[in-house]
Amino acid sequence: MTLHDVALDDKFDLRKERIFLSGAQAVIRMLLMQRERDRRAGLNTAGFVSGYRGSPLGGLDMQLWKARKQLAQSDIVFQPGLNEELAATACWGSQQAELLGEGTHDGVFSVWYGKGPGVDRSGDVFRHANLAGSSRHGGVLALMGDDHMAESSTNAHATEFLFVDTMVPILNPAGVQEIIDYGLYGIAMSRFAGTWAAIKCVKDNIESTASVDAALERLDIVVPDFDMPPGGLNIRNEIDMLGQEERLHEYKRAAASAFIHANGLNRIVYSGGSGPKLGIVTVGKSYLDVRQALEDIGVDEAAANRIGIRLFKVGCPWPLDLQHIADFARGLDTIVVVEEKRSLIEVQLREHLYGTAMQPVIVGKRDERGDGLFPAKGALDPNDIAIALGERILRTIGPSDQIAARVAKLRQFQAMLAETTDIASRTPFFCSGCPHNSSTKVPDGSLAAAGIGCHFMALWMDRNTVGFTAMGGEGAQWVGQAPFSKRDHIFQNLGDGTYNHSGALAIRFALSTDANITYKILYNDAVAMTGGQPHEGGLTVDMIARQVRAEGVGRIAIVTDEPAKYTGKVEFPAGATIHHRDDLDLVQRELRAVRGTSVLIYDQTCAAEKRRRRKRGTFPDPDKRVFINELVCEGCGDCGVQSNCVSIQPVETEFGRKRKIDQSSCNKDFSCINGFCPSFVTVHGAKIRKAEGMAGTTDPLDGVPTPAEFPLGDQGWAAIIDGVGGTGVVTIGAVLGMAAHLEDKGCGMIDMAGLAQK
Ligand SMILES: Cc1ncc(C[n+]2csc(CCOP(=O)(O)OP(=O)(O)O)c2C)c(N)n1
Ligand code: SF4
Ligand code: SF4
């Protein structure tokens, strides 16, 4: 078999057309393509990217940093935001450069990115910026990172309605290919209609990897005929609020619809043949689920056309183009809308079709009797979709033994699934040696509140930690709670990334309200939960101490695993004290007795980050290791309880269950040796014995049976690879995917990151 010619740099090599890349890399490829397409069209454009990290867009900034060379060569600037709304304002600014006649380029295309909660908090900027508009040769995309199942979030979110509210057209890609396609369409639409364009990013597209067609000339983008108002729709130098509002309502929305229509972004996939009866409308990830569901009940394109099923794939769920809807709905008795979360398409269908000659029955969240059909909560399951569609077909189109049999089988599967119980469940937990294992402890009698960041996981542990806030609100809940509580004081955990993002303002609020609270600013020198990004502006412990002093915090204490590193080297505000982490309890007891707002900065580097830095040789690696002498250990388990460390593991011996330290996962935090147990042995200068290498001696595949070849017919092949972060799960997926790509086969993988990895 001849293998596809593949190189590691293919992703961003514009001469390569079929490439294998992740959703986040597709965003970068799309930007490079945009710039080159502009150049070929005679435009000297540049690009600007800003946003804030968070799953499912947690890894985008890392990818942008990795591609900095290619981006710079294409005049694309990446500037991570301090937070989402400041990033959005910067993107708005990118549309203004040439307004004053001082632009260095013909226009700047721009990408904002943020997790759903970041979308929520940026609403004010989106509204302003969308009213103001985008520039003629610029354009802005907003990547909305939605987590429908709260797999890595403090709430389940889908943020389409925020964009509907601010009147930003939405594009919903069904996979990696469409991230590239809709990105290019979105920028063109933004230029044409003068609005921003939102792109829905969920784990199923942005966290997946696929083999795609990324040829530069792949899309022939059509600019529709449209009656523009005087002065056009692009950004202007003006202060005319009502004029902006008028343009948005009277022209921009219609211009976006005209663009969507001209480019066929909503399309009829199955025509329904000569006598269509039942229409199915779906969008984004749900489109793939519907295709799967139809396959599961044995309805392919030929069958759909024979029995009268019309399938409509929506690329732009808002604003839904009227003309497309009319074409789709013509002749149908019933329309089933399959979309996750709240009804966006369903309500527009009703709004547009009600009162016209075409009034099919429309069902979606509920059926015609008012019974639940596709719930707004959680995510939709392809099996449930298959059952609902199968039953609907049997009811509206007529009997079919095959469909009835498949529906019955699927029902049986679902019933079996409902009865299964998990054989094990795993609550997310701190990494080995995590500073939060020590930092989140509070003295007896005290309570702490959680917030956003890895320390949130303390809520699941026995840590007297209750309640949490949205990012940056840490401690503000206490302002509303304290006047009505018998409790006098709380500790509030606040990650350093969150402090930088917006949490510093919450401290100002606490001070201004004279709240009796101790902020524990957990300085782990990284935005850890999202992958260990550095702090914008290079935040340090002494910077934080000086900032909070300038805000008016009187009592400041620094608690660290290495107090010596500060001696004589760093200047702290007067009166700030430095302590070893062994004294954390004492320090906290003192601070809780201080009236008003006090600050404890807990300084210890994130263990995962330490491990990465040690691999790169940029962090000291102590030449000692800790072991547990099994013969001395009595198996009481106290070391695990005290250190909270997952590297302390049970080991079964002939004298019963003892404990051992898993040397491969130990991150050398050494908090486990603090107890009074004599079993602990510290060994200096020891190296872990490496497993005997097999290379060269024997063939490692010797004795491994040749795998049976599985026929890759129309059905394809799928696998679930499960495990937690760091165990090679993502690598196995990447190897399998690359193997398929090498053989020129279509493939797709979905990786899960963020809290899901912990
Ligand atoms: C408004 C908002 N933006 C982004 C996120 C995603 N997010 C979750 S945890 C986290 C990192 C917080 O970092 P830090 O405060 O340093 O805590 P650490 O994870 O390092 O303990 C981010 C960005 C979010 N939850 N809310
Ligand atoms: S990533 Fe860092 S801060 Fe987060 S749990 Fe792991 S060690 Fe702790
Ligand atoms: S090492 Fe010590 S603290 Fe840990 S289980 Fe054994 S006896 Fe208990």
Residue 694 lies in a domain: no
Can you list the positions of beta strands (E) in 217-357?
267-270, 278-283, 309-314, 334-338
Q: Which atom of ligand 2 is nearest to the CA of 667?
A: 7
What's the chain's average pLDDT? 94
Enumerate residues 6+ apart whose C-beta is below 8 A from 614: 620, 621
- Give the closest residue (by CA) to ligand 1 atom 6: 54
Indicate if the pLDDT at residue 26 is higher than 70.
yes
Pick the residue whose CA is nearest to atom 2 on ligand 2: 606
Q: 44, 106 in Cβ contact below 8 A?
A: yes
Query: Does residue 706 fall inside a structural domain?
Result: no
DSSP annotation of 467 reads -
Chain segment 204-219, per-residue pLDDT in tens: 999 999 999 999 999 9
Q: Do 600 and 638 reside in the same domain of the chain?
A: no
Q: What is the largest CA-CA distance in the chain?
A: 88
Q: Is residue 700 part of a domain?
A: no
Q: Determine the average pLDDT of the residues in 583-593.
A: 98
Ligand 1: which of 429, 471, 492, 522 to mutate, most ligand atoms within 8 Å of CB?
471
- Residue nearest atom 20 of ligand 1, based on CA coordinates: 528
Pairwise CA distance, residues 321 & 260, whole Å = 7
Mutate to test the pocket of ligand 3, among 641, 658, 673 (most ligand atoms within 8 A of CB): 658
Note whether 207 and 116 are same-domain residues: yes
Q: How far is the CA of 520 from the centre of ligand 3 (A)?
A: 30
What is the C-alpha to C-alpha distance for residues 214 and 510, in angstroms, rounded to an integer?
A: 51
Residues 118 and 80 sit within 8 Å (Cβ to Cβ)? no
| Pair (83, 210) in one structural domain | yes
Contact present, 322 and 356 (Cβ < 8 Å): no
Whether residue 344 lies inside any domain: the answer is: yes
Here the CATH number for the domain that contains residue 606 is 3.40.50.970
The C-alpha atoms of residue 554 and residue 548 are separated, in whole angstroms, by: 9
Decide if 126 contacts 166 (C-beta within 8 A): yes
Q: What is the pLDDT of residues 37-69, one digit of tens each?
A: 999 999 999 999 999 999 999 999 999 999 999
Residues enclosing ligand 2, CB less than 6 A?
Answer: 430-431, 434, 436, 454, 524, 528-529, 606-608
Domain closes at, from 387, 419, 451: 419
Answer yes or no: do 606 and 651 share one domain: no
- Integer Cα distance of 475 and 596 in angstroms: 13
- What pLDDT band is residue 753 in, cutting at 50, 70 and 90? low
pLDDT of residue 161: 98
Q: How far is Cα of residue 708 from the mean position of the Cα atoms in its chain?
A: 37
Residue 727 — very low, low, confident or very high, per pLDDT cuts 50/70/90? Answer: confident
Q: Which of 578, 610, 642 is the last residue of a domain?
A: 610
> What is the distance between the alpha carbons of residues 340 and 365, in angstroms, rounded to a whole number?
9
Are residues 371 and 297 part of one domain? yes
Best probe residue, ligand 1, of 147, 452, 494 (max atoms within 8 Å of C-beta)? 452
Phi, psi of 347 (to 5 degrees): -70, -35
Q: What is the pLDDT of residue 754?
A: 62
Among candidate residues 80, 67, 62, the one with its CA nearest the CA of residue 35: 67
What is the CB < 6 Å shell around ligand 1? 52-54, 115, 117-118, 121, 452-455, 471, 495-498, 522, 524, 526-530
How many of the other CB atoms lie within 10 Å of CB of 665? Answer: 16
Task: State whether 253 and 309 are in the same domain.
Answer: no
CA-proximal residue: ligand 1, atom 4 (nearest): 54
The token duo for 388 is 């609902």
pLDDT tens digit string along 136-193?
999 999 999 999 999 889 999 999 999 999 999 999 999 999 999 999 999 999 999 9
Instruction: Tell me, yes or no, whether 573 and 441 share the same domain.
Output: yes
Asked if residue 695 is part of any domain, the answer here is: no
Domain boundaries, position 67: 19-224+231-262
Closest-CA residue, ligand 1 atom 12, reads 453
Domain count, the chain: 4
Identify which of 527, 601, 606 to mutate to test ligand 1's pocket (most ligand atoms within 8 A of the CB). Answer: 527
Centre of ligand 3 to C-alpha 655, Å, is: 14
Render pLDDT for 661-710 as a digit per residue (tens, 0 to 9): 999 889 998 888 887 899 999 999 887 777 666 566 677 788 888 888 77
Residues 291 and 397 in one domain: yes
Site residues for ligand 3, CB cut-off 6 Å:
628, 633-639, 659, 675, 677, 679
Query: Model confidence over 415-457: pLDDT tens digits?
Result: 999 999 988 888 889 999 999 999 999 999 999 999 999 999 9
Looking at the structure, do residues 49 and 86 belong to the same domain, yes or no?
A: yes
Q: Are residues 633 and 667 in the same domain?
A: yes
Tell me how far apart the alpha carbons of residues 222 and 302 are, in angstroms, rounded to a whole number.
Answer: 31
Q: Does 10 fall in a domain? A: no
Question: Helical H runs in 397-498?
Answer: 401-419, 436-439, 476-481, 496-498
Q: How far is the CA of 467 from the centre of ligand 2 (A)?
A: 20
Determine, yes or no, domain membership for 461. yes
Query: Where on the phi/psi map is residue 585: left (φ > 0), alpha (ψ -120 to 50), or beta?
Result: alpha
Residue type, 257: S
Residue 720's pLDDT is: 87
**Which of 8-12, 102-106, 343-347 is predicted least confidently?**
8-12
Share of the chain above pLDDT 70, in %: 98
Residues 169 and 195: beta-carbon distance below 8 Å: yes
Report strand pairing: 278-283 vs 309-314: parallel
> What per-residue confidence (pLDDT) applies to 721?
87
Which two three-digit tokens encode residue 398? 């007529």
Q: Are 307 and 397 in contact (CB under 8 A)?
A: yes
Residues 182, 173: Cα–Cα separation, whole Å: 7
**480 inside domain:** yes
End-to-end, the C-alpha distance of the chain in Å comes to 40
What is the rounded distance in angstroms from the CA atom of residue 235 to the CA atom of residue 244?
A: 10
Among 380, 454, 307, which residue's Cα sits nearest to residue 158? Answer: 380
C-alpha 621 to ligand 3 mean position (Å): 25
Of 358, 385, 419, the residue at which a domain comes to its end is: 419
Name the residue with the closest Cα to ligand 2, atom 3.
606
332, 194: one domain: no
The CATH number of the domain holding residue 327 is 3.40.50.920
- On whether both 508 and 412 belong to a single domain, the answer is no
Q: Which atom of ligand 1 is nearest to the CA of 436?
A: 21
